[in-house]
Structure 1
Amino acid sequence: MPDRDSPIAFGLHPNADLTFRLKESLEMINTLIDTQPKDAATGSGKSPEAEVRDQLEKTMLPDLPENWNDVEMLEKIKSMRGPRGLSDVGLKIPLNVFLFQELERFQHVLTKARTTMKSIIAAVDGTIIMTPDIVNAIGAIYDLRVPKDWCFDATGVEISWLTPTLGGWLEGLRNRHRQLDQWYTQGRPASFWLTGFFNPQGFLTGMKQELTRMKKGEWSLDEVEYKTDVRNEVINTDNGTLDRVPNPPSEGVLVHGLYLEGATFSKKSGNKLEDPKPKELYSRFPLLNVSAISTSSSEPMGGGRPRGEDKSSQVYSCPVYKYKARNDRYLIFRVNLKCDNSGQPANQLKSLTAPMNWKLKGVALLCSKE
Structure 2
Amino acid sequence: LQIKIIVSAFFSRSHVSENTSEWQKIYDSREPQSFPLPEQLNNTLTITTFVTDKLGKKFVEPPPFDLTKSYLDSNSTIPLIFVLSPGADPMSSLLKLANDKDGQGQGSIAAKMIQKGMEEGTWVCLQNCHLAVSWMPMLEKICEEFNSEKCHPVFRLWLTSYPSPKFPVTILQNGVKMTNEPPTCLRLNLLQSFLSDPISDPAFFSGCPEKELKLLFAVCFFHAVVQERRKFRPLGWNIPYGFNELDLRISIRQLHVPFEALSYLTGECNYGGRVTDDWDRRLLLAMLDDFYNPDIIENPHYTFSPSGNYYAPPKGAYEDYIEFIKSLPFSQHPEVFGLHENVDISKDLQQTKILFESLLLTQGGDTQRTSGGGDSALYEIADDILSKLPNDFDIEGCLSKYPVRYEESMNTVLVQEMERFNNLIQTIRITLINLKKAIKGLVIMDDELEALSGSLLVGKVPEKWAKRSYPSLKPLGSYILDFLERLKFFQDWYELGKPTVFWLSGFYFTQAFLTGAMQNYARKHRIPIDLLGYEFQDTADTAPEDGVYIHGLFLDGARWDRTKGILAEQYPKLLFDMMPTIWIKPTTKSDIKKSNAYVCPLYKTSERKGVLSTTGLSTNFVIALTLNTDKPAQHWIKRGVALLCQLDD
TM-score by length of 2: 0.46
Question: 1:227 aligned to 2:227?
Answer: no
Deviation, 1:287, is 0.5
Q: Pick the aligned partner of 1:285 from 579, 595, 598.
A: 579
Aligned partner letter, 1:167: G
Distance 1:20 1:275, change over 3 A: same
Which residue number corresponds to residue 351 of structure 2? 24
Question: 1:200 aligned to 2:525?
Answer: no
Distance 1:260 1:171 in 2: 22
Distance 1:3 1:129, change over 3 A: farther
Distance 1:41 1:332, change over 3 A: closer
Distance 2:462 2:608 in 1: 24
Higher relative contact order (CA 8 A, sep 6+): 1
Question: 1:251 aligned to 2:546?
Answer: yes
Deviation, 1:288, is 0.2
Distance 2:568 2:394 in 1: 48
Aligned partner letter, 1:229: Q
Question: 1:112 aligned to 2:427?
Answer: yes
Distance 2:405 2:449 in 1: 40
Instruction: Report if aligned partners of 1:260, 1:283 keep a CA contact under 8 Å in 2.
Output: yes
Distance 2:361 2:535 in 1: 46
Deviation, 1:3, is 5.0
3-state DSSP of counterpart to 1:250: coil
Map 1:89-238 onto structure 2 (within 5 A): 90=405, 93-152=408-467, 159-215=469-525, 217=526, 219-231=527-539
Instruction: Report if aligned partners of 1:109, 1:160 keep a CA contact under 8 Å in 2.
Output: no
In the alignment, structure 1 segments of 5+ residues that lack a partner are 79-88, 154-158, 234-245, 306-310, 342-353
Which residue number corresponds to residue 15 of structure 1? 342
Which residue number corresponds to residue 319 of structure 2? none
Deviations along 1:197-234, one digit per CA (max 9) or x if unpaired, are: 1111110111000001110x3x1110000111112x7x
Consecutive aligned runs of 4 or more in structure 1 exceeding 6 Å deviation: 41-44
Aligned partner letter, 1:195: S
Q: Pick the aligned partner of 1:365 from 607, 619, 643.
A: 643
Distance 1:91 1:126, change over 3 A: farther
Distance 1:209 1:70 in 2: 23
Q: Pick the aligned partner of 1:66 from 386, 391, 400.
A: 391
Distance 1:357 1:20 in 2: 20
Aligned partner letter, 1:17: D
Distance 1:257 1:13, change over 3 A: same
Aligned partner letter, 1:199: F
Distance 1:34 1:91 in 2: 52
Count, aligned residues: 313
3-state DSSP of counterpart to 2:402: helix
Which residue number corresponds to residue 264 of structure 1? 559
Distance 1:3 1:118 in 2: 56
Distance 1:2 1:227, change over 3 A: same
Deviation, 1:98, is 1.0
Distance 1:210 1:150, change over 3 A: same
Map 1:345-360 onto structure 2 (within 5 A): 354-360=632-638
Distance 1:49 1:2, change over 3 A: farther
Distance 1:150 1:2 in 2: 47
Which residue number corresponds to residue 55 of structure 2? none
Deviations along 1:146-184, one digit per CA (max 9) or x if unpaired, are: 11000115xxxxx33323311111111100101111111
**More off after superposition, 165-174 vs 321-330:** 321-330
Question: 1:331 aligned to 2:626?
Answer: no
Instruction: Report if aligned partners of 1:161, 1:169 keep a CA contact under 8 Å in 2.
Output: no
Which residue number corresponds to residue 166 of structure 2? none
Which residue number corresponds to residue 51 of structure 1? 377
Distance 1:3 1:368 in 2: 36
Instruction: Report if aligned partners of 1:258, 1:284 keep a CA contact under 8 Å in 2.
Output: yes
Distance 2:628 2:410 in 1: 30
Deviation, 1:23, is 0.5
Instruction: Report if aligned partners of 2:500, 2:542 keep a CA contact under 8 Å in 1.
Output: yes
Deviation, 1:190, is 1.3
3-state DSSP of counterpart to 1:54: helix
3-state DSSP of counterpart to 1:329: coil
Deviation, 1:92, is 6.5
Deviations along 1:278-326, one digit per CA (max 9) or x if unpaired, are: 1111011110000100124xxx13xxx1xxxxx5x53111111111122
Using the aligned pairs only, state the percent identity. 29
Distance 1:295 1:174, change over 3 A: same
Instruction: Report if aligned partners of 2:560, 2:566 keep a CA contact under 8 Å in 1.
Output: yes
Instruction: Report if aligned partners of 2:407, 2:524 keep a CA contact under 8 Å in 1.
Output: no
Distance 2:371 2:390 in 1: 29
Name which one, 1 or 2, has greater alpha-carbon Rg. Answer: 2
Deviation, 1:137, is 0.2
Question: 1:316 aligned to 2:626?
Answer: no
TM-score by length of 1: 0.80
Deviation, 1:267, is 2.7
Which residue number corresponds to residue 84 of structure 1? none
Distance 2:443 2:406 in 1: 42
Which residue number corresponds to residue 60 of structure 2? none
3-state DSSP of counterpart to 1:152: helix
Distance 2:569 2:343 in 1: 12
Aligned partner letter, 1:284: M
Which residue number corresponds to residue 30 of structure 2? none
Which residue number corresponds to residue 363 of structure 2? 36
Instruction: Report if aligned partners of 2:600, 2:643 keep a CA contact under 8 Å in 1.
Output: yes
3-state DSSP of counterpart to 2:393: coil
Aligned partner letter, 1:101: Q
Distance 1:291 1:41, change over 3 A: closer
Deviation, 1:38, is 4.8
Question: 1:294 aligned to 2:616?
Answer: no
Instruction: Report if aligned partners of 1:254, 1:287 keep a CA contact under 8 Å in 2.
Output: yes
Which residue number corresponds to residue 77 of structure 1? 402
Which residue number corresponds to residue 177 of structure 2? none
Distance 1:134 1:40 in 2: 16
Instruction: Report if aligned partners of 2:566, 2:627 keep a CA contact under 8 Å in 1.
Output: yes
Deviation, 1:16, is 1.1
